[in-house]
Structure 1
């Protein structure tokens, strides 16, 4: 039996594709490497042995804080090296992020092959560096290979959960023929999008639409609107059912979400997270716009009036989505 260590932590964009891969390998002995208090704690802990390390990204200007982060990273490399030897790991799969640095270095020391998956159109600094040490770098977008000329790459796409390929039942009270808008801020929510949507939602509802608004857990204004056609939830456990039913999604442009939108052929208005590393969400969204699969608005330029009118236009004439190839 092949012994596989999956290193994926933090957001749904890292964890969900890794879970999709793991579930396709029932005959593998799978262990999982993550961090404390992140998404993998609730999604992975009951499925695979979960090992955690205290690493974080270098995202602070404090020199002292960065020294502490570097020290923890070096500690983690030695701890992971011990784990790899104890569990006799044969191969490692990682979806990037700061956790991938420690595991890739530990694996390189021991000569264990690492498969790194880069799901974004523009690879991050971590991917650019670590791809030197990886057996292969799998890509979510074929065009990404031009940014990694020194790496061995293969175009894979972004793995999605199996439920997205099977017709799902949506357990929400929404009429069959109603125009359904879903609002997705990513696995952590998006307060800025939430605020914009709340300013527009009643106009859309008055035009006959239903709105399912996934706010995340960090929004203090979730009870601002009280209407039977407006359903607010921190998250929904069956995203496949929501996307299959939706007429339109308003969403961030994380690679995992885009892969799910593509799988369900859901038209979208994309509002990329403006502070994403390398501005990668904008380039993800731009690829979908060029493929005529979505519209894109930059957050800093998007006004309430623009968003309201753009969605009303699609509610009143849904054929415009088809004319744009969505």
Structure 2
């Protein structure tokens, strides 16, 4: 009988990328892969086009850090989602459930636990997010990206594996990236990634600084859904809502990167040795995890950090020019980073857990 895994995670692209990295491993090993996500989240957009991964949408809610009527209704959505996940998992009978986090994962983990299906969780950030904190008691193991995360977990469950990076990112071609964007070899390339959430402030500041940025750089800008401004026309500026299949080539072309400080993205830049300017989400916008991620990378000499409250068109342009001028130092620091095969370790732990069943 074919082994089966159900993957979950969503709400932002960062809660899907590790699952996207794992799917080819499961395919190669002959596993059946299914996915439980929200009914209309970004995870549905990213997973459904794969074709051979069956997608199931369930109800889900989230905890907002501000007063909102949805905070009253969302706990009922989580309960509904848990019943939906319980019935799905009982019917589909997976050998194991792997959760990448985000609020859609909470009802799925509960549904798996109620069906006595073992659960493995992955935590990308330095400290666990609320969804994972709720789910961890129901999991067999929690895999971490940062070694420091083990301090926040039950030592019997923590497994430090390092950063999981999609293998296809290493195979990008700079010449294809330039062809996609219409860029030349003779001017450095700045890649701007605001993330699937929280890109608005970066987008506004980039727009205000664009005339100076395009004097020095060719700019490829991943703006987020609905954020491309059709009024901006410049031969050194190429905006996209997001990129999927083309992303490895565009990354290969980039000389430096401006980004939020989500863990999955910054470790991908690290693996590709891309000097980065990080603008972490503020504590008002998040739980502060991106600030910790950025500070950890800054301490290791991998990046410059520009805090959003200090970000102006002038400070942004000056910080990027400084980053480019010192790019060789950052590249040398990143070359000294010891790498381990986190994807293989994670895959092996999931398969071993599936083989052991509920034991």
- TM-score, L = length of structure 1: 0.91
Query: What is aligned with 1:215?
Result: 223
The answer as to whether partners of 1:12 and 1:186 remain within 8 angstroms in 2 is yes
Distance across 1 between alignment mates of 2:308 and 2:37: 31
**Residue 308 of structure 1 pairs with residue 313 of structure 2:** no
The answer as to whether partners of 1:121 and 1:280 remain within 8 angstroms in 2 is yes
Instruction: Pick the aligned partner of 1:175 from 184, 187, 191.
Output: 184
**Residue 112 of structure 1 pairs with residue 117 of structure 2:** yes
Moved more, 159-168 or 179-188: 159-168
Query: What is aligned with 1:16?
Result: 17
The answer as to whether partners of 2:188 and 2:218 remain within 8 angstroms in 1 is yes
The answer as to whether partners of 2:277 and 2:323 remain within 8 angstroms in 1 is no
Distance across 2 between alignment mates of 1:162 and 1:223: 33
**Residue 53 of structure 1 pairs with residue 54 of structure 2:** no
Instruction: Pick the aligned partner of 2:264 from 245, 248, 256.
Output: 256
Deviation >6 Å, runs of 4+: none
Distance 1:55 1:176, change over 3 A: same
| C-alpha RMSD of the superposition | 2.1
Query: What is aligned with 2:31?
Result: 28
Query: What is aligned with 2:241?
Result: 234
**1:58 aligns to what SS in structure 2?**
coil
- Per-residue CA deviations over 1:271-297 (Å, capped at 9, x if unaligned) read 011145321011111111111111111
Distance across 1 between alignment mates of 2:121 and 2:266: 19
**Residue 73 of structure 1 pairs with residue 52 of structure 2:** no
- Per-residue CA deviations over 1:70-122 (Å, capped at 9, x if unaligned) read 22222222221111111111110010111121111122222211000101112
- Per-residue CA deviations over 1:111-170 (Å, capped at 9, x if unaligned) read 211000101112112222321220000111121111113550111233232211224331
- Per-residue CA deviations over 1:28-69 (Å, capped at 9, x if unaligned) read 11110011221222221123111111111022635x643432
Query: What is aligned with 2:143?
Result: 138
* Higher percent of residues as helix: 2
Instruction: Pick the aligned partner of 2:44 from 10, 31, 41.
Output: 41
The answer as to whether partners of 1:22 and 1:30 remain within 8 angstroms in 2 is yes
Distance across 2 between alignment mates of 1:4 and 1:322: 38
Instruction: Pick the aligned partner of 1:243 from 241, 251, 254.
Output: 251
Segments of 5+ residues of structure 2 without an aligned counterpart are 336-359
Moved more, 31-40 or 146-155: 146-155
Distance across 2 between alignment mates of 1:157 and 1:325: 15
**1:277 aligns to what SS in structure 2?**
coil
Distance across 1 between alignment mates of 2:309 and 2:60: 32
Segments of 5+ residues of structure 1 without an aligned counterpart are none
Query: What is aligned with 1:86?
Result: 91
Moved more, 80-89 or 308-317: 308-317
- TM-score, L = length of structure 2: 0.83
**1:272 aligns to what SS in structure 2?**
coil
Query: What is aligned with 1:290?
Result: 299
The answer as to whether partners of 2:10 and 2:42 remain within 8 angstroms in 1 is yes
Distance across 1 between alignment mates of 2:165 and 2:12: 14
Distance 1:86 1:192, change over 3 A: same
